[in-house]
Structure 1
Amino acid sequence: MNRQRTVARRSAVAAPVRAKLYDNILETIGNTPIVKISDRLAPKGVEVYAKAEFFNPCSSVKDRLALAVITDAEQKGLLKPGDTVVEATSGNTGIAVAMVCAQRGYNCVICMAEPFSVERRKIMRMLGAKVIVTPKAGKGTGMVAKAEELCEKHGWFLCRQFENDANPAFHASTTGPEILTDFAGKRLDYFVTGYGTGGTFQGVGRVVKAARPDTKIVLLEPEAASLIASGTKTERKSTGAPKGSHPAFAAHPIQGWTPDFIPKVLEDAQAMDLYDELVPISGPEAIETAQKLASTQGIFTGISGGASMAGALKVAAKAPKGSVILTMLPDTSERYMSTPLYESIAADMNEEELEIAKSTPSFQLLPGEEPVLQA
């Protein structure tokens, strides 16, 4: 009887398997799972779900963007074998572009501002990209300007993630329909998301609003960099790229969210009147929520994922009983090791861990003492 229960329990929690063979890694992009958040974090009386984009092959939602932009360029005849692809990025898009270039056989150059985590530089270089680090004082607009300058000089292809319509179009054809399929026959009262380029917000937003107009869309942005809340527009070049830094921008720790300008893709979404509420998220609450997702749910996401969930929990706290809320978890925690997300996470044993170690006599490694093997 006990054996039967064990087998049944294992069957109940077995992970789904993608039972097919793939021709290449890019075919595994998308179809990411949606996971319910337990009441150890979510308030009782509502259902909170997260779409886990770290299930993409390079562990972020930006895998979708990179595949979309490069495939679109190929279809338009803008790329040929051996060409060089360039992008300006805080990291996740650069990692994704490097992956797609590695698989498709393009050279890759990434421009990234100095403050973003060094892990991301190493991952991109591991994928074969050249990483050009731009000065901190230049902010996001500086890395964008450097990418443009390099492309003008060398005739390289610039992805233009912040202006490229292929970005939201891919979310409209993949991410949005995935959500509608997963919630078919079920309530979906709120969709909560932050913005980097605005691609997820625009693409998913327009699909969800068309199919389920009663679903409220909540847009999040950093409290320290409330660009949309300011009401001030970004000045643009003829390409749609920003002319300069937005006056409402201030440095914030939510990497991947809100550069120092309003992206053209996001501005286009604003014109579509897609969001019902704008909610600010502070850096500390984003970090705290990412840590709680790990320690209470076993969900391993970065600061932007913590910020997204913090927004979803704010919505949940005031939503009517029975409400169903979905948010996005854009990436994984592992590319934040050198950021404030891990400042409170020690590498060495703390006092409690040392006491556990000393509770049995063998194999002790205690500070200031000789290692003990067999007692």
Structure 2
Amino acid sequence: MVGVLSAQRWLGGTAVRANDRARARRAGARRGIAPEARIYENILETVGDTPVIKINRLAPEGVEMYVKAEYFNPLSSVKDRLAVAVITDAERRGLLKPGDTVVEATSGNTGIAVAMACAQRGYRCVICMAEPFSVERRKIMRMLGAKVIVTPKAGKGTGMVAKAEELAAKHGWFLCRQFENEANPAYHASTTGPEIVRDFAGKKLDYFVTGYGTGGTFQGVSRVLRESRPDTKIVLLEPEAAALVSSGIKTERKDTGAPAGSHPAFAAHPVQGWTPDFIPLVLENGLNMNLYDELVKIEGGDAVQTAQALARNEGIFTGISGGATFAGALTVAKKAPKGSVILAMLPDTSERYMSTPLYETIDAEMNDEELEIAKSTPSFQLIPGQDPTLLVQ
């Protein structure tokens, strides 16, 4: 908590004020009042205070479902919070000074967020990312000025972590250690969790559903809910193909808390960012606090289909991890008592998954139905195998 409060002080207190103003603007907009003008001092001030959105068409009858859309953060993922937490905490503790280099291992979203924070604060940034993760993530990080070191697929998540540790040791760079850094869950305990409590004030909240990733969101939010909303059941999710927590097998650790090797229960899965091939220390600490009531495994195919369903039925544009989380929420909804209220976390945006299975069935060219629509009027037709038609006289 100290690191988080220091982060807010580093922002001159404006992080808190920015969130207050954002809430006032949204409330005013709902009442038809012109929003208050606001100029932000830097991009980091816009992190957090993401909206809770009601699900209207996909929720089963008799159950209210909501999502907290973390893609409203400036770089479109929940990891923007982690980056602010870790970087500002390091500054407070004197571990970062102007001109330093920050290095981290990531499946992408944390790297993008750290690259954003480094660009704003003037640090050099090096990201280690395993080969299978989507190429658009590499491009976004490079767009933000980061250097991206791609590690071999066979090394899995532990390989990219080991590479980041090796680079930090050799060059004296600051290593974020998102999987072990307690500034990560502390920030969620002081921002994400209180936002949920505020938004559900005076309203039921029967279930909170989330995947784990580093465990930061799970641990930080769940600590707050256990204290403020003890009747809320916390449902933790993990991939069916990589059910590390369900296995009951612990991750062997180095003295730093980093993984000493790959977890035996891990297998490749499509839910990027949800589960590396080890149990992060932040997650393990949350598990040891008994912060969840139920553990549910999610099939990769269900994650993809549910993300597509959210886009097509609700206009909610989330990635595979968001689809997986909402698939878990739907599983909870099927057996929840009538009148239950369920909140699911949506970690990021669908645009981060263009080169993944999420978009395999999404064509860039017109399909037969679209071609028939195009041919239904005579002008401006672009039909394969035919000369383009412009205006028809």
TM-score by length of 2: 0.91
C-alpha separation between the residues in 2 aligned to 1:203 and 1:16?
34
5+ residue gaps, structure 2, are 1-28
Structure 1 residue 42: deviation in Å?
Answer: 1.0
d(CA) in 1 for partners of 2:66, 2:33: 18
SS in 1 for 2:60: coil
What letter is aligned with 1:23? E
Matched-pair identity in %: 79
2:40 equivalent to 1:22 = yes
User: Do the aligned partners of residues 267 and 128 (structure 1) sit closer, same or farther apart at CA in structure 2, a change above 3 Å counting?
Assistant: same
**Which residue of the partner structure matches residue 3 of structure 1?**
none
SS in 2 for 1:49: strand
Distance in 2, Cα, partners of 1:13 & 1:111: 46
229 and 23 in structure 1: CA distance in 2 versus 1, 3 angstrom threshold = same
Is 1:77 the counterpart of 2:86? The answer is: no
Give the one of 334, 344, 347 matched to 2:361.
344
Change (3 A) 1:14 1:240: farther
Q: Say if 2:298 is the partner of 1:266.
A: no
| Structure 2 counterpart SS, 1:253 | coil
Q: Distance in 2 between matches of 1:212 and 1:114?
A: 41
Deviation, 1:19, is 3.8
Aligned pair partner of 2:49 in 6, 17, 31? 31
Other-structure match for 2:298? 281
**Structure 1 residues 182, 134: CA separation in 2 closer, same or farther (over 3 Å shift)?**
same
- Output one character per residue of 1:179-225: Cα deviation in whole Å (capped at 9) or x when no partner: 00000000000000001100000000010011111100000000000
Match of 2:116 among 95, 99, 117: 99
1:162 aligned residue: 179
Runs of 4 or more above 3 Å deviation: 11-19
Offset at residue 291 of structure 1 (A): 0.3
Q: Distance in 2 between the 1:209 and 1:50 partners?
A: 19
Q: Distance in 2 between matches of 1:252 and 1:19?
A: 45
Which letter does structure 1 place at the counterpart of 2:346? L
Match of 1:113 among 102, 125, 130: 130
Tell me the C-alpha RMSD between the 2 structures: 1.3
Tell me the distance in 2 between the aligned counterparts of 1:312 and 1:275.
14
Q: 1:105 to 1:18 in 2, by over 3 A?
A: farther
- SS of equivalent residue, structure 2 residue 235: strand
2:262 is the counterpart of 1:242: no
The offset of 1:15, in angstroms, is: 11
Which amino acid letter does the alignment assign opposite residue 33 of structure 1?
P
Aligned counterpart for 2:85 among listed residues 68, 72, 83: 68
Aligned partners of 1:275 and 1:210: how far apart in 2? 13
Q: SS in structure 2 opposite 1:35?
A: strand
- Cα deviation 1:158-189 (Å, max 9, x = unaligned): 00000000000000000000000000000000
**1:211-360 correspondence to structure 2 within 5 Å:** 211-360=228-377
1:190 aligns with 2:207: yes
1:45 equivalenced with 2:62 (yes/no):
yes
Alpha-carbon displacement from aligned partner over 1:117-176 (angstroms, at most 9, x marks no partner): 000000000000000000000000000000000000000000000000000000000000
Q: Deviations over 1:320-372 (max 9, x none)?
A: 00100001110001110000000000011111101000000011101111111
Shift in alpha-carbon separation, 1:16–1:180, aligned structure 2, 3 A: farther
Q: How many residues align?
A: 364
Q: Which residue of 1 aligns with 2:168?
A: 151
Distance in 1, matches of 2:379 and 2:32, equals 36
